[in-house]
Amino acid sequence: MNNILNFFTSIIDGENPIVTWISVGAIALLIALLVIVCISNRGGQGFDTKRIVFAGICIATSFGLSFLKFSPVTYGGSITIASMVPIMLYSYIFGPISGIIGGLIYGLLQFIQSPYLFTGTTFLLDFPLAFASICLVGLFRKLIKNELGGLIAGVGFTYIWRFLAHLLSGFIYFANGGIWTNLPADNMFIYSFLYQITYIGPDFIISLVVIIALYFSKTITRLEKIADKKA
């Protein structure tokens, strides 16, 4: 039993070779996504130069902001200084397809930044699937005519999707003996809920306040004009 726990602990702490190989795989997938983005400009409807440049700037800004954080929970998520805002704005301006690709790339970067692995399922839930939720900001802009309403709904549902992905991942994590091995099995879901809401809730509030401030300051409108401007 101790050997099994040590094995999982080494994976979580990034000391196991499996994490190295998963990191290499994540980098390879990241490169593949970038290649797809660069060659998908067909008939001017895909990722043109401006869209790629915007993606690079927004993803890099989000990634940089993700280092400004503090963790109220152990071995897990952090509250950041609106790190998801730039990539959510990219989705809002360029649409859900661009948003989901940007979100997938950002999710893989998050794994590379702090690699940990418990199971393949938790990896998919915590990184690609959780951050693919960013596409909802672009989707709700199309669904809701009111600009501010669509923006708020998009941000809200992005965090709901992300929360549910981390919630399920946490349930699997704790149910399989992650760290708190003496936690009663029937408390796993409740514990995961409290664990995720501790950092995702404040992170959502910070992002929403920043998004609304950018909206009323006309910053988003100016970014849209730059994106729409012909080269």
User: Whole-model pTM?
Assistant: 0.81
CATH number at residue 214: 1.10.1760.20
Cα 22-23-27 angle, rounded to 5 deg: 115
pLDDT (tens digit per residue) in 5-47:
444 444 444 444 555 556 566 666 666 766 666 666 554 445 6
75: left (phi over 0), alpha (psi -120 to 50) or beta: left
Q: What one-character DSSP code corresponds to residue 48? A: -
For residues 82-98, average pLDDT:
95
- CA gap 105, 102 in Å, rounded: 5
How sure is the predictor about 135, in pLDDT bands with cuts at 50, 70 and 90? Answer: very high
**Domain count along the chain:** 1
pLDDT at 74: 63
pLDDT (tens digit per residue) in 56-84:
899 999 999 999 988 876 666 789 999 99
Q: What one-character DSSP code corresponds to residue 144? A: -
- CA gap 172, 175 in Å, rounded: 5
Percentage of the chain exceeding pLDDT 90: 44
Contact 86, 220 (CB under 8 A): no
Cα 112 from chain centroid (whole Å): 13
pLDDT (tens digit per residue) in 143-196:
998 999 999 999 999 999 999 999 998 888 777 665 555 555 567 788 888 888
Tokens, residue 83: 């790190």
Of 206, 225, 212, nearest to 83 (Cα)? 206
- CA gap 87, 20 in Å, rounded: 27
Name every residue whose Cβ is closer than 8 Å to that of residue 54 and which is 6 or more positions away in sequence: 90, 93, 94, 227
pLDDT at 225: 92
| Structural domain harbouring 144 | 2-228
